[in-house]
Amino acid sequence: MKDAWTKFLCRFIGWDYNLLKECSVASKKALHRYAGAVMLLMMIWAYIGYGMADRYFKIETTAAKIGVAVIFMLVIWMIERQIILIVGKNKWVSSSRFILAMIMACLGATIIDQTILAKDIDAQKMYEIEHDTDSILEYRRPILEAQQRRFLAEIDSLEKQANILTEDINKQPNVYTWARSAIGVDSVGKPVYATNQTPMPNPKIQDRERINARIDKIQKELDDGGNRLQALRDTVSKEARENFGLLRELKITLSDKVIFSGWQSELFYILIFGFFLIIECLVVFGKVFSHKCDYEIIVEHQQERRIRQIESILPLDK
């Protein structure tokens, strides 16, 4: 069981198990030290990835959030293996990893602070959303109110026309048409015509019906506009909340209202930042500043011996 665990750790950080078996206990401890540091980083960044998926990426399903956390873990695992698997001490790689550690520490500390200080951030965020809502309302409300006024003016005009038509219809509900038809001939053979009067509804009734239909349609739009005007604040507030992006939330987090609101919060952020920076640099410090274990010495010796063999063969090929 112990050998299986050691084999897993070797594969995890990229060491050769068969070579490690010939090494001392110090090499096995170095193996556990490297593996523990990488696992610790992977767990922390899995939590950060899950939190970013939930807070910033707006992912709803738990499975997708876990998928993002796994991706973050794999990225950290591959980055740390780049340091562990270096043969010898490469100052350029170590320096770049230290710079990357600074960046990751800033990101990690900020995201963790957003989780811990979520209530303070949300309170300031609501203030920003209310401010955005008021600004958008100042722009949208006059547009709806102007549209309502146009509807009212059109209704007044149509009602006046309808009243005039109603008066004309009341005075003359029917109109008459005259038709002349031949009923015979006179004594000299000329046709004799008769004129008939036929009553029919006043055509203005149809005009009034069209105007009333138009009034009903405008009145419905007017009522809908009134409802939209009443619900406008809720709609605008919802839009402002949905459009509140990552950069604005980071700005709130790093503003003088949250982290830099006093020396207590600043000290807390510095401690969180320092904590993450030390954790991010565990592998780098272990690789650069600690004494080499016999496993690493054997790997370097094998590399140097192989290089000498190649260099001794190459001149014979010329």
Binned average pLDDT, 10 residues per bin, the chain of 318 residues = 84 89 86 89 89 80 92 90 75 74 78 76 80 76 78 82 80 68 64 66 78 83 70 74 74 78 82 82 75 82 81 62
Shared domain check, 165 and 70: no
Q: Is the entire prediction scored with pTM above 0.85?
A: no
pLDDT, residue 67, reads 93
From 204, 229, 249, the end of a domain falls on: 249
Shared domain check, 145 and 220: yes
Shared domain check, 84 and 188: no
Closest CA to 80 of 63, 96, 97: 97
SS3 (DSSP) at 178: strand
Shared domain check, 221 and 140: yes
Packing angle, helices 91-116 and 263-280, rounded to 10 = 140
Q: Is 66 exposed, middle or buried (0-12, 13-18, 19+ CB in 10 A)?
A: middle
Question: For the segment 245-285, what is each residue's pLDDT rounded down to a tens digit?
Answer: 777 777 777 777 777 778 887 888 888 888 888 887 877 77
HSE value, Cβ hemisphere, 13 Å, CA-based, for 26: 8
Nearest-angstrom CA–CA distance, 106 and 104: 5
Shared domain check, 148 and 96: no
Shared domain check, 286 and 183: no
- Who's near 309: CB < 8 A, 6+ residues apart? none
Shared domain check, 222 and 128: yes
- Who's near 106: CB < 8 A, 6+ residues apart? 273
Here the CATH number for the domain that contains residue 202 is 1.10.287
Shared domain check, 93 and 176: no
The CA distances from residue 135 to 128, 141, 243, in Å, are 11, 10, 14
Closest CA to 50 of 34, 35, 71, 26: 71
From 228, 249, 270, the end of a domain falls on: 249
HSE value, Cβ hemisphere, 13 Å, CA-based, for 87: 9
- And the tokens for 309? 């063999």
Q: Token pair 């919060």 is at which residue? A: 265
Nearest-angstrom CA–CA distance, 270 and 106: 10
Nearest-angstrom CA–CA distance, 235 and 75: 40
Shared domain check, 275 and 214: no
Shared domain check, 244 and 128: yes
Its domain, for residue 83, covers 2-117+258-317
Amino acid making up residue 269:
Y
pLDDT, residue 318, reads 45
Phi, psi of 243 (to 5 degrees): -95, 10
Question: For the segment 57-78, what is each residue's pLDDT rounded down to a tens digit?
Answer: 778 889 999 999 999 999 989 8
Integer-rounded Cα radius of gyration of the chain: 43
CA distance from start to end of the chain: 53
Shared domain check, 199 and 146: yes
Shared domain check, 136 and 245: yes
pLDDT, residue 70, reads 94
The stretches of the chain forming alpha helices (DSSP H) are: 2-13, 17-21, 25-55, 62-84, 91-116, 118-171, 204-242, 246-253, 263-280, 282-288, 294-317
From 249, 267, 286, the end of a domain falls on: 249
CA 259 to chain centre: 23
Neighbours of 106 (CB within 10 A): 13
Q: How many domains does the chain have?
A: 2
